[in-house]
């Protein structure tokens, strides 16, 4: 194996030092909302200008590996996935933390990431040439079906009922059509200037997950005086390892899903975790355990999103076609060193290339060791942070993270609006994961369908184009099985669970009426548009929304009078002040600058939501806020040179 001729070069002092720093830094960056792996790698590229080719690539590869795993830390501990790839981890990871098993969840996360990651890199090392050929076979029709496979996962993702899940998913698909369409060049549903660029996936991710969490934390800090988020029990590392490795099925499903999704260019590792999560749930004898802290959920999701890293580099290294958004940024890092993807990479530049691939392997080991080392302390630490401090810190990170994705103030506004709506939706049994998945899959499905149709119209016609070809047929089969299985499980569960218990779900009347209203609004917007082909897909979505809304409504109608009034679900009195402070914070930010506004915002939130309001508390808050802002300033403005909102 050629890799053995070059593997020695990794063990130079400077490379090892870079690996340790990059892995630790990557884990921390990944845990911050908004700093997705893509952003982290993009921010670091200018630093590699000064390094030699191998060291620069070791840095980027290690950061890529570590940020993907790091995104799970915030997901498990605070219910906010650090990146789209970690959404599936949150579904069972955070419930585990709430049960006091935060440390254990983190252990599973890193062990599974390691297993998946190592397998992924080995696949990259041994199977690159045949996989590259397979990757090229994915044209518009295959990508379209791939997206549809993703859509079939939506209904079962973390919602209280399949219909609500499907409604949320289609809503997400519709949100993805907002903005100027790249294929039709037409701007759709842009009723305010904030929406011209559409809804960026990470903006939606932060809004839909972080904002409800902030509100929840504020309410918690009012209602409980002790302040901590949850308790945690110590889990010996050894027992975590033993249990984790005994879950062969979850690990295998996760790793295989990750490898397969990783190879397909453009599908994005973002959905690897979700596909794996859905599969492991479907293969489980008791699907109802999922969503309440089932370790298999964490194991499958995390092994999948790290297994994706290696294979996503296959099309990148051989064809210059990146398999994930992060791999796209990594391409820049290769080019700047004169390393052009292709056979040259493994012949002329073999030394650098194999050092890079080898360092990915080593980065997995470092990630495992450092991650496991941090597990206990980080969960103990987060556990002890009083919720008002956590709310303030998350607010500032969310605002800053959102802003820095596209340097856009509109995105911050969007994030807050989406998140506030999500807080209400959460209360009525809808969940964020299917919406985010919808936003991810929307463009993949629509763009590929439109392109495929254009090609089909001048060749064999859409029917032959989309329905023929072995990969198409396999994917269609997978879709059918997935849908059939979901229906079967739903029917089985309905029999098992007493009907009334299921239907007296709080607020389902309001939810059903709300869903009908939303679907009507969307339908009116679509119909009042000019009716060009650019609106075909939104029209289909509007009809689907209507169907699911009506289904929800019928469901509720049957038990209409048996429903008790549930009282107020949203704690407005507790939230009012917090929302006012956050709005004020955003309003003053463009004028007084990010750092001053954040500092003031932090103090206001913490002081207002602290039970004690004496001088001691005041001083403590000032110091904590100052340190927090200083750390953010040093990390972003000084070392990463991120441009801040309000310009300073």
Partner 1 sequence: MILKKIKPSIVSVALSAFLLAPSAAVIAADFPSAPVQVAVAYGPGGATDFQARIATMMAGNEKYLNMPMVIFNKPGAGGQKGWNWYASSASTDGHQLAAYNVPHFIAQSLKFDTSYNINNLEPIANWGADPAVLIVPADSPFNSAADVVAWSKANPGKLTVSGAGLYVGHHIASLQFDKVANISTKYIPAGGGVAAMKMVLGSQVMAGFNNLSDAYRQGDRIKIIAVADNQREETFLPDVPTFKEQGIDVDDSSVNFRGIMARKGTPPEVIDFLAERVHLMFQDGKVAKKMKSGGSPMRIMTRAEVKSMWVERQAYLDKLLADL
Q: Are 403 and 637 in contact (CB under 8 A)?
A: no
For residue 341, give both structure tokens. 């993807």
**Distance in angstroms (rounded) separating the CA atoms of residues 217 and 471:** 47
Please name the residue ranges forming H helices in 36-160: 37-48, 53-78, 87-96, 102-136, 140-154
CB of 325 to partner 1, least distance (A): 8
State which H helix or E strand residue 187 sits in.
Answer: strand 187-188
**Distance in angstroms (rounded) separating the CA atoms of residues 208 and 230:** 22
CB of 618 to partner 1, least distance (A): 7
Residue number, 139 or 584, with CB nearest to partner 1: 139
CB of 484 to partner 1, least distance (A): 30
**Distance in angstroms (rounded) separating the CA atoms of residues 596 and 588:** 9
Residue number, 495 or 615, with CB nearest to partner 1: 615
Residue number, 5 or 460, with CB nearest to partner 1: 460
Nearest CA to 308 out of 121, 43, 579, 36 is that of: 121
Q: If you ran DSSP here, which 8-state letter would residue 180 be given? A: E
CB of 616 to partner 1, least distance (A): 7
Which residues lie below 8 Å from residue 208, measured CB to CB, with a gap of 6+? 418, 419, 422, 432, 435, 436
Query: Does the CA dihedral 108-113-118-124 come out positive or negative?
Result: positive
For residue 198, give both structure tokens. 């559409």
CB of 421 to partner 1, least distance (A): 22
Which residues lie below 8 Å from residue 477, measured CB to CB, with a gap of 6+? none
**Distance in angstroms (rounded) separating the CA atoms of residues 305 and 269:** 6
Q: Are 294 and 101 in contact (CB under 8 A)?
A: no
β-bridge mates for residue 180, sequence order: 187
CB of 469 to partner 1, least distance (A): 11
For residue 77, give both structure tokens. 């501990």
Q: How many CA atoms lie within 13 A of 90 on its CB side?
A: 28
**Distance in angstroms (rounded) separating the CA atoms of residues 155 and 488:** 13
Cβ atoms within 10 Å, residue 253: 26
CB of 264 to partner 1, least distance (A): 11
What is the chain's percent helix, strand, coil content, to nearest 5?
80, 0, 20
Q: Are 588 and 646 in contact (CB under 8 A)?
A: no
CB of 645 to partner 1, least distance (A): 11
Nearest CA to 73 out of 378, 385, 505 is that of: 378
**Distance in angstroms (rounded) separating the CA atoms of residues 277 and 171:** 21
CB of 139 to partner 1, least distance (A): 4
Rg (CA), the chain: 24
Residue number, 137 or 494, with CB nearest to partner 1: 137
**Distance in angstroms (rounded) separating the CA atoms of residues 330 and 58:** 11
For residue 202, give both structure tokens. 């990470």
Residue number, 473 or 626, with CB nearest to partner 1: 626
Query: Is residue 565 exposed (0-12), middle (13-18) or buried (19+ Cβ within 10 Å)?
Result: exposed
**Distance in angstroms (rounded) separating the CA atoms of residues 113 and 255:** 9
Q: Are 314 and 134 in contact (CB under 8 A)?
A: no
Residue number, 428 or 599, with CB nearest to partner 1: 599
CB of 323 to partner 1, least distance (A): 11
CB of 445 to partner 1, least distance (A): 13
CB of 272 to partner 1, least distance (A): 19
Residue 188, SS3 per DSSP: strand
CB of 407 to partner 1, least distance (A): 5
CB of 242 to partner 1, least distance (A): 41
CB of 471 to partner 1, least distance (A): 11
Residue number, 108 or 594, with CB nearest to partner 1: 594
Residue number, 40 or 304, with CB nearest to partner 1: 40
């Amino acid at each position: 194996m050629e890799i053995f001729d070059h593997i020695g070069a990794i063990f130079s002092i400077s490379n090892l030092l870079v690996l340790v720093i990059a892995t630790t830094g990557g884990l921390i960056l990944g845990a911050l909302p908004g700093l997705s792996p893509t952003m982290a790698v993009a921010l670091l590229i200018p630093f590699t200008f000064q390094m030699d080719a191998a060291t620069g690539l070791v840095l980027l590869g290690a950061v890529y590996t570590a940020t993907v795993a790091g995104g799970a830390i915030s997901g498990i501990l605070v219910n906010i996935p650090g990146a789209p790839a970690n959404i599936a981890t949150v579904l069972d990871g955070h419930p585990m933390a709430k049960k006091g098993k935060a440390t254990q969840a983190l252990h599973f996360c890193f062990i599974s990431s390691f297993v998946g990651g190592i397998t992924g890199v080995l696949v990259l090392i041994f199977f690159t040439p045949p996989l590259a050929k397979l990757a090229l076979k994915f044209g518009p029709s295959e990508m379209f079906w791939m997206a549809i496979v993703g859509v079939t996962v939506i209904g079962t993702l973390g919602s209280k009922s399949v219909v609500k899940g499907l409604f949320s998913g289609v809503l997400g698909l519709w949100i993805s059509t907002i903005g100027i369409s790249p294929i039709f060049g037409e701007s759709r549903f842009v009723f305010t200037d904030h929406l011209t660029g559409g809804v960026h996936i990470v903006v939606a991710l932060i809004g839909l997950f972080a904002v409800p969490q902030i509100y929840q934390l504020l309410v918690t800090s009012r209602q409980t005086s002790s302040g901590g988020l949850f308790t945690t029990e110590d889990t010996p590392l050894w027992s975590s390892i033993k249990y984790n490795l005994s879950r062969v099925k979850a690990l295998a499903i996760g790793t295989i899903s990750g490898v397969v999704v990783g190879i397909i260019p453009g599908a994005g590792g973002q959905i690897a975790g979700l596909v794996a999560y859905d599969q492991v749930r479907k293969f489980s004898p008791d699907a109802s355990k999922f969503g309440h802290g089932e370790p298999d959920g964490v194991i499958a999701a995390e092994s999948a999103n790290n297994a994706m890293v290696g294979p996503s580099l296959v099309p990148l290294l051989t064809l210059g076609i990146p398999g994930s958004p992060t791999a796209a940024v990594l391409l820049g890092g290769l080019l700047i060193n004169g390393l052009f993807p292709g056979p040259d990479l493994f012949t002329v530049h073999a030394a650098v290339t194999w050092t890079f691939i080898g360092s990915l392997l080593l980065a997995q080991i470092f990630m495992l060791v450092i991650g496991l080392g941090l597990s206990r302390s980080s969960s103990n630490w987060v556990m002890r942070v009083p919720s008002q401090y956590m709310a303030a810190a998350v607010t500032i990170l969310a605002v800053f993270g959102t802003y820095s994705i596209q340097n856009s103030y509109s995105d911050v506004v969007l994030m807050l609006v989406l998140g506030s709506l999500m807080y209400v939706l959460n209360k009525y049994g809808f969940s964020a994961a299917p919406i985010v998945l919808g936003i991810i899959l929307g463009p993949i499905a629509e763009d590929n369908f439109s392109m495929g149709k254009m090609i089909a119209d001048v060749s064999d016609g859409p029917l032959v184009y989309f329905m023929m070809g072995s990969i198409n047929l396999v994917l269609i089969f997978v879709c059918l099985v997935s849908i059939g299985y979901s229906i079967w499980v739903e029917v089985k569960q309905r029999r098992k669970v007493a009907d009334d218990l299921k239907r007296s779900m709080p607020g389902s009347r309001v939810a059903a009426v709300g869903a009908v209203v939303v679907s009507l609004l969307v339908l009116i917007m679509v119909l009042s548009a000019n009716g060009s082909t650019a609106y075909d897909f939104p029209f289909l979505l509007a009809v689907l929304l209507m169907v699911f809304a009506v289904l929800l409504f019928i469901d509720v109608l049957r038990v209409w009078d048996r429903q008790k009034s549930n009282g107020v679900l949203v704690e407005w009195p507790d939230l009012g002040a917090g929302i006012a402070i956050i709005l004020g914070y955003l309003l003053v930010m463009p004028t007084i600058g990010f750092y001053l506004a954040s500092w003031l915002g932090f103090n206001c939130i913490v002081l207002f939501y602290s039970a004690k309001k004496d001088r001691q508390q005041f001083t403590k808050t000032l110091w904590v806020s100052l340190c927090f802002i200083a750390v953010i300033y040093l990390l972003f403005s000084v070392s990463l040179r991120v441009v801040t909102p309000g310009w300073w």
